[in-house]
Amino acid sequence: MRFTVLGSGSTGNAVLITTEKTRVLVDAGLSAREILRRLAVVGVDFNDLDAVLLTHEHGDHAGGLRVLLGTVKCPVYISKATADAYLGTRKGSMNGGESESVKRSDALKNRTVEIESSHEFRIGDIDFEPFSVPHDAVDNFGFVAAFAGVKIATLMDFGHITTLIKEKLNGCDAIVVESNHSRDMLRACSVYTWDLKQRIASRTGHLSNEDLADWLTNDFDGSARHIVLAHLSQRANEPHLARITAECALQMRPPLFRTETKITLSNYSEPTEWISFQ
């Protein structure tokens, strides 16, 4: 099994997880055109995709989906609540008005496989174990993808690390995890309104470098050889700062629990290298 983060940040997210037989695109938050370009960059034919898996309805995860479905022919794995929110049939949801809602509904018609955010499901030969994460979307989840004894966890868009999350991350071989903002940079950011800062920093917002560091030092079991930092804010974070904060946190672990874990940064504009497991 191997994976690449095709792109990640506030402007759009997509992750690709594959085995020899199965190719799953996780989220479609980049434009369809960018997703297709990046699939080509990493050497995957879009005709070979087996599924698009949607974690939640926010635009930076679902914004490219409708147009993408005009090109790719695979089904969309999505929970009922997320589909309703994506289609704008839930009260208070905003997705660009009625016409967009109709277009989305047409695009998804007969293309979905309903999943639940707390029940295991399988796509091809990959087993997915989803788990809820605290975020201000209707039904956001992270998941562990397992194949042939290898486990890859992916979780973005969550405001704090819960006991459930800690449990699910134990024993994983690779983890793609949000390192959204530096608390100081978020506070000092002159572009964001007070409301937006509150939303990002809340317990159902986005994970800070500092919260991730706390988990790395105190709760990480050391099993993952690769940790990919994802969803870095372009305004309230710096890639170097996110990396140094995570690497220092690993160094702070008690000597007996030091690990060889490699930290990789994902980027909003280009895919990461493939990270592969035999």
Using CB under 5 A, count the residues that bind Zn ion.
3
- Using CB under 5 A as the binding rule, the residues of this chain from 133 to 162 that contact Zn ion are 157
Q: How far is the CB of 115 from Zn ion (least distance, A)?
A: 18
List of residues 6+ apart from 254 with CB closer than 8 A? none
Q: Would you say 19 or 209 has its CB closer to Zn ion?
A: 209
Looking at the DSSP assignment, which residues form a beta bridge with residue 38? none
Residue type, 225: R
Cα(238)–Cα(234) distance, integer angstroms: 7
- CA distances to 78, 108, 159, 169 from 164, rounded to whole Å, are 21, 31, 14, 9
Candidate segments 39-47, 53-61, 180-188, 218-226, binder of Zn ion by CB under 5 A: 53-61
231 closest CA partner among 120, 147, 118, 140 = 140
For Zn ion, the binding residue among 58, 151, 168, 181 (CB under 5 A) is 58
For Zn ion, the binding residue among 60, 139, 173, 211 (CB under 5 A) is 60
Q: How far is the CB of 55 from Zn ion (least distance, A)?
A: 8
Enter the tokens of residue 136.
């201000």
Candidate segments 42-50, 55-63, 82-90, 257-265, binder of Zn ion by CB under 5 A: 55-63
Residue type, 68: L
Q: How far is the CB of 13 from Zn ion (least distance, A)?
A: 6
Candidate segments 15-23, 51-59, 96-104, 186-194, binder of Zn ion by CB under 5 A: 51-59
Cα(86)–Cα(169) distance, integer angstroms: 28
Cα(275)–Cα(51) distance, integer angstroms: 20
Binding mask 69-88 for Zn ion (x = CB under 5 A): --------------------
Residue type, 212: L
> Which spans of this chain sit near Zn ion (rule: CB under 5 A)?
58, 60, 157
